Structure 1
Amino acid sequence: MAETWLNETLYPDWGQRFKTVRELAREQSAFQDIGIFETTSHGRVLTLDGVIQITERDEFVYQEMLAHVPLLAHGRAEDVLIIGAGDGGVLKHVLMHKGVKRAVMAEIDGEVIRLAKEFLPGIGGDAWNDPRAEVLVGDGIDFVKKAPTGSFDVIIVDSTDPIGVGEVLFTDDFYENAARILRADGLIVNQCGVPFMQADELRETSLRRKKFFPFVSAYVAAVPTYVGGFMTLGWAGKDPGQTGLSVEEIARRAEAAGNIAARSEYWSPRVHVASFWLPPYIARHLP
């Protein structure tokens, strides 16, 4: 039997491939091409328009850093808005925090949620049934426009790159409304790509955020299947002190939140603090 390989199509002249056992699901939704594959090395893999979104083997890195860093840096987050993240992983990690009273998740493509529940059940786990979760199938941009002023503490954007369905999540209009619905100590984080290959994404998004937030930064996570080195997670907030907390303070907050460190495979208080110390080749793209 001939070998079958999944070739990622993110870059035209560089990429990665996975040896596959079988294709579990393939669907053209109203928004994008969704694929779920069983691989020999990384377990089940989710693709959107041919680009790797998540793998069972290394999803913990991205999910932990996208959820735990902003929530513990804030320290008192009760109302959290998640945009995208249809696999449920960010929702699961947000709900690990005992202080969170409401986690609203707005995913534009209901087929991503449906297929993730069926073929990637371990990613979201029991989060789908948590009474604190409000899962909405709809446009996150529209939700942010209509949400009341000062209604959230933290916004987490887990989107595709700024092309296609994810493009509107990188606009001035979106960040202006995000700043409006965040409280006085609120903050927003979002994936800003791998700067070794996508430096423009970090630079341009940071400049947009700077128009509406007094403090803009970024932190990094090493996700093996996001090829090209560190991935950056963009940060925009109203309190610059949130990114300069000590290891001891983060550890104290993590314990109080629900023993987060013991439940993590990548995130730790030291990794949290160190993630804001950017290599010069990344830091130079911040305003």
Structure 2
Amino acid sequence: MNEWSTENLHGDYAQSLRVGKMLYDSETEHQRLRLFENDTFGRVLTLDNVVQTTEGDNFIYHEMMAHVPILAHGMVRRVLIIGGGDGGMARTVLDHASVAHVTMVEIDESVVAFSREYLPNLSRGAFDDPRLKLVIGDGADFLKTTEDRFDIVIVDSTDPVGPGEVLFTETFYGHARRALSPGGILVTQNGVPFLQGEELTNTMRAFRALFADWGCYLATIPTYAGGPMAFGWGTDGKSRDVSLQHLRERFATAALKTDYYTPEVHKAAFALPGYVRRLMPAD
């Protein structure tokens, strides 16, 4: 077979992955869901032909979105995940034995059912963990009405098109801030700054108005092509300033087995190259 799956998310740039074997191809209520095998990345999940996750490199995204805020905070008990239907983010958060409760809000129930059957290596039993509460619904609506408070809010969203568009608005971020407990941290998926600079700038403009400490950090994920990916960071606490020594101690106590995250990578991820720094709104 010589079929290729081509992602045309950006106007002047595309990436293609060879389809070794198509395992699933179906239209859900919200989007087109496809799963295929690739010799380098294993099973690859796409929504509307945009890569969402792969067995091969998902660990980078999940470790950096989960471990950075949790270990920076140091006393996380309650976590909210918006999106993340494949279960990989929930699994990574639940790797922290100190986390007592995780609420996960996913708009598309079929993605959860699909991922449990076809991508069990990502969730690795997370959906059956008694600490996880799965809510099928709109994440924006959930944040608008919830009275619960969380130490960490992780927005594991698709790009700002279709169902994910509402998760990149100033109103949504304001509701997310309201759901944080004192000293809580909001982290967001903010695309590839080299190709999606406006998306990052708009989010940072909203964060600047909402949080005492705002910014982003970076990680390079091969199938999120076009350069390093940005993760938005917003908090009213001092957790970004945690020392390397404290991170090392917390990492050792958590006894995490990681393939990308280290305390040193954690600290370095906040060092931004010039072109990303210039995307930050002026103080």
Question: What pairs up with 1:1-287 in 2 under 5 angstroms?
Answer: 2-148=1-147, 151-239=149-237, 241-256=238-253, 258-260=254-256, 263-287=257-281
SS of the residue corresponding to residue 63 of structure 2 reads helix
Shift of residue 160, structure 1, vs aligned partner:
0.8
- Unpaired runs of 5+ residues, structure 2, are none
Q: What is the CA–CA distance in structure 2 between the aligned matches of 1:212 and 1:204, rounded to whole Å?
A: 13
Q: Hey, which bits of structure 1, 4+ residues long, moved more than 4 A?
A: none
Deviations 1:38-74 (A, max 9, x none): 1122110010111111111111100100100011111
Shift of residue 209, structure 1, vs aligned partner:
2.0
Shift of residue 11, structure 1, vs aligned partner:
1.8
Residue type at the aligned position of 1:282:
V
SS of the residue corresponding to residue 140 of structure 2 reads helix
Shift of residue 192, structure 1, vs aligned partner:
0.5
Deviations 1:227-248 (A, max 9, x none): 1111000111111x21122221
TM-score by length of 2: 0.96
What's the Cα RMSD here?
1.1
- Unpaired runs of 5+ residues, structure 1, are none
State whether residues 86 and 116 of structure 2, in contact with CA within 8 Å, keep that contact through their aligned partners in structure 1. yes
State whether residues 186 and 235 of structure 2, in contact with CA within 8 Å, keep that contact through their aligned partners in structure 1. yes
Deviations 1:87-137 (A, max 9, x none): 101100100111111000000011111111111110000111111001111
Q: Calculate percent identity across the aligned residue pairs.
A: 43
Shift of residue 221, structure 1, vs aligned partner:
0.4
State whether residues 170 and 203 of structure 2, in contact with CA within 8 Å, keep that contact through their aligned partners in structure 1. no
Deviations 1:168-227 (A, max 9, x none): 111122111111111110110011110011100110011112222222110000101111
State whether residues 19 and 41 of structure 1, in contact with CA within 8 Å, keep that contact through their aligned partners in structure 2. no
Q: What is the CA–CA distance in structure 2 between the aligned matches of 1:102 and 1:164, rounded to whole Å?
A: 30
TM-score by length of 1: 0.95
